[in-house]
Amino acid sequence: MASILFEIKNSVAIITLNRPEKFNSFNREMALLLQQKLDDCANDKNVRVIYLTGNGKAFCAGQDLGELTGENPPGFEVILAEHYNPIVTKIRTIEKPVICAVNGVAAGAGANIALCCDVVVASSSASFIQAFSKIGLIPDSGGTFTLPRLIGFQKASALMMLGDRVSATEAERMGMIYKVFDDEIFANESMKIAITLSQMATKGLAYTKLALNASLDNSLAAQLQTEDELQYKAAHTTDYKEGVTAFIEKRMPQFKGE
Ligand code: LHQ
């Protein structure tokens, strides 16, 4: 059984973590395959949005702890360098929106990979756990960078130290995620967001992402310069022309992602 399911539907690439019996925890094979799928999405002009989710009850329980204690485990020196860090970097730098549809529990690296996506939605029965402290590790996969920026230093610090489980509703309330949907409507509603994004001006969204990335360590002066440069690029896209023309002509724009 493939550890990742992949399909492209209406310009949305659906990437499904598929080790349900292990709560979609990452072994080396799945971590490398996810990177490959993200690269494929980056290089495929037909893909305008990536929709990341999990199969079964969980979204992802982080590292497969069985793999670490089994035969020929990957060494600690490769786990971050070759597995999680490239995944987070690819998600943050791919010039297309990545929506994470958190269908169930997201723990450890699974939580932090979800939280680094551009739009994070969750089903009402999902939850988020910074599970690392429970096994004597530190939060990785960008968690110490992302979480304090999302919910503030104190909440992040306490959640990372205590390893508490945060419900999807609470995660939405504290600004950790964008929205929570009842389980029954979650799949449809999260896909609707992906389809909406796939019909928008893809390059404009990519430049928005680049500007947001840059804002994380820029001064205001440097950020204004970044906005200036990226707005110039956005203004030279075909989709910008179409957006303005459609507005003047009082019709819906037909964006092509160009
Ligand atoms: C699992 C796992 C799992 C294997 C559930 N592995 N089987 C970076 C640096 C280097 C090394 C280490 O890792 C990292 C990054 C990390 O991600 S560290 C954090 C690793 N993850 C965890 O510590 C989470 C471990 N899992 C849990 O705490 C619980 O399973 C959660 C809270 C996710 C879910 O709890 P429950 O809903 O009660 O489910 P469960 O515990 O019964 O799990 C269901 C099945 O999934 C079970 O299998 P079984 O055959 O007994 O039914 C678990 O063994 C399996 N599973 N997580 N990470």
Q: What is the CA radius of gyration of the chain?
A: 19
Which residue's alpha carbon is at the smallest distance from atom 4 of ligand 1?
64
Is residue 118 in contact with ligand 1, taking CB distance under 6 Å? Answer: no
Mean pLDDT of 66-75: 90
Which residue's alpha carbon is at the smallest distance from atom 39 of ligand 1?
23
Under DSSP, the state recorded for 63 is: B
Neighbour tally for 149: CB within 10 Å? 12
Percentage of the chain exceeding pLDDT 90: 96
Q: Is the pLDDT of residue 71 over 90?
A: no
Residues 25-66 pLDDT 10s: 999 999 999 999 999 999 999 999 999 999 999 999 999 999
C-alpha 198/C-alpha 10 separation (Å) is 8
pTM for this entry: 0.98
Which residue's alpha carbon is at the smallest distance from atom 27 of ligand 1?
61
Instruction: Calculate the alpha carbon distances from 153 to 118, 134, 145, 147, 200 in Å.
Output: 20, 20, 10, 8, 34
pLDDT of residue 76: 86
Mean pLDDT of 225-248: 98
* Nearest in space to 115 (alpha carbons), one of 132, 93, 137, 91: 91
pLDDT confidence band for 157 (50 / 70 / 90)? very high
User: Of 5-19, 67-81, 163-177, which range is least confident?
Assistant: 67-81
Which residue's alpha carbon is at the smallest distance from atom 3 of ligand 1?
64
Is residue 128 in contact with ligand 1, taking CB distance under 6 Å? Answer: no
Q: Is the pLDDT of residue 184 over 90?
A: yes
Is residue 127 in contact with ligand 1, taking CB distance under 6 Å? Answer: no
Is residue 63 in contact with ligand 1, taking CB distance under 6 Å? Answer: yes
Q: Is the pLDDT of residue 124 over 90?
A: yes
Residues 1-26 pLDDT 10s: 899 999 999 999 999 999 999 999 99
Query: Of ligand 1's atoms, which has the minimum distance to the CA of residue 76?
Result: 10
pLDDT of residue 194: 98
Pocket test for ligand 1, best of 17, 22, 23 (most atoms within 8 A of CB): 23
DSSP symbols for 174-185: TTSSSEEE-HHH
At residue 140's C-alpha, the angle toward residues 44 and 17, to 5°, is 45
pLDDT of residue 72: 86
Is residue 65 in contact with ligand 1, taking CB distance under 6 Å? Answer: yes
pLDDT of residue 96: 98
Cα 187 to ligand 1 centre (Å): 24
Cβ 105 vs Cβ 124: under 8 Å: no
Under DSSP, the state recorded for 83 is: I
Is residue 24 in contact with ligand 1, taking CB distance under 6 Å? Answer: no
Pocket test for ligand 1, best of 26, 27, 30, 65 (most atoms within 8 A of CB): 65
Percentage of the chain exceeding pLDDT 70: 100
